[in-house]
Structure 1
């Protein structure tokens, strides 16, 4: 039997790559997506379609009730503008959702325990370190320590791209032959990607550095 693994899967470019990496490594993948009231919930529609196409077990969990506790972020508060421009700390700080990854990882670890597996894959990467405290290596290390204390079995958080750039993630996906049309990155969540928000800018920069054209349709670039 294949070993089981939970993969936190948002529908975005990073977790899409992690999902396929886990599959290629021979895991029986249990994808886990969360609706926490994010404005770009279109990513979840993409996640559902990808898992259906792959035949991967997928749970989309509605935790929108906690949205009222996670205000103050442009991703969860409709009265705060999504930042446009460069993917840098000063510009992107408003997209930090309070304690998001600790909450999501805690639930993913609980799911792993219920499945009898000890592996949880998570798509944090080096480009997030300056912006998101809960994507930093010390956070992942600490969560692994807490996970080992909180459960009889030591559930390990695996972050294969924790020290990798967005470009390196894209390179890994290209090497696997992935189709990034099956991902959604834009924080606005409209019919087409805006090409202007910080998340779009970071993604487009990775494709440009690779000499590739992003296959996702954009309103403007």
Structure 2
């Protein structure tokens, strides 16, 4: 029986988890919070869910763009270029984004009689994004389990592995990663220069996957 919802962005990580756990997933949830790349990601999330016969919904979170401070919400020109190791990439943090999304997903799960919320945060995110770390996932899982009648659980199987590890799993599943989006700048093509684009290139190369993504540079 399908017992899970998944937070699915349309990026490499969540699409890999979607295919890995497709037999368990009853509902895919995307969140439109006004980021530069939501318009690129969400249609891909919807497409993959439809391909797998999984219901998909998009939840609007427009208040985040209005009230939260992040270069991810300020237009393509605000996105810094360079590797994630650079301190400038910290500007892309959207405060408590995963906490908000997990809380909503938990409420939707309980409303639909489901037991698990899947999220595809991974080890490479830890140094920059506090709401991707082990401590955060464990604390949120405890809160969600204790705050729901059925004891909803957060399932985050990629927390301690790298993006390259995720890509290797996707390779075994036959995922075409050109049908995913990473670039924080949005636009018609992925820029190839921002932190997520660089991380994407490196992960695909390390996993031995030909990168057929169309980049600007």
TM category (shorter chain) comes to: over 0.9
Say if 2:193 is the partner of 1:196: yes
Paired residues of 1:73 and 1:80 also in contact (CA < 8 A)? no
Q: TM-score, normalised by structure 2?
A: 0.95
Superposed structure 1 runs of 4+ greater than 4 Å apart: none
Q: How does 1:88-107 map to 2 (within 5 A)?
A: 88=85, 90-107=87-104
Say if 2:15 is the partner of 1:16: yes
Q: For residue 124 of structure 1, what is the aligned residue in structure 2? A: 121
Say if 2:140 is the partner of 1:143: yes
* 2:180 aligned residue (179, 183, 188): 183
Per the alignment, do residues 11 and 79 of structure 1 end up closer, same or farther by CA in structure 2, a change over 3 Å counting? closer
The count of corresponding residues between Structure 1 and Structure 2 is 216
Cα distance in 1, alignment partners of residues 101 and 154 from structure 2 = 12
Per the alignment, do residues 128 and 55 of structure 1 end up closer, same or farther by CA in structure 2, a change over 3 Å counting? same
Q: How does 1:24-63 map to 2 (within 5 A)?
A: 26-41=23-38, 42-63=40-61
- Counterpart of 1:75 in 2: which secondary structure? helix
Greater shift in the superposed pair: 89-98 or 13-22: 89-98
Q: Which digits, 9 at most, give the CA deviation of each residue in 1:105-132, with x for residues without a partner?
A: 0000001101111111001100000010
Greater shift in the superposed pair: 168-177 or 74-83: 74-83
Paired residues of 2:76 and 2:186 also in contact (CA < 8 A)? no
Q: Which digits, 9 at most, give the CA deviation of each residue in 1:24-80, with x for residues without a partner?
A: xx214310000011111211121122222222100011111332121x211112397
Per the alignment, do residues 199 and 79 of structure 1 end up closer, same or farther by CA in structure 2, a change over 3 Å counting? closer
Paired residues of 2:77 and 2:185 also in contact (CA < 8 A)? no
Cα distance in 2, alignment partners of residues 190 and 3 from structure 1 = 36
Q: TM-score, normalised by structure 1?
A: 0.93
- Name the Cα RMSD after superposition: 1.4
- Counterpart of 1:15 in 2: which secondary structure? helix
Cα distance in 2, alignment partners of residues 3 and 205 from structure 1 = 34
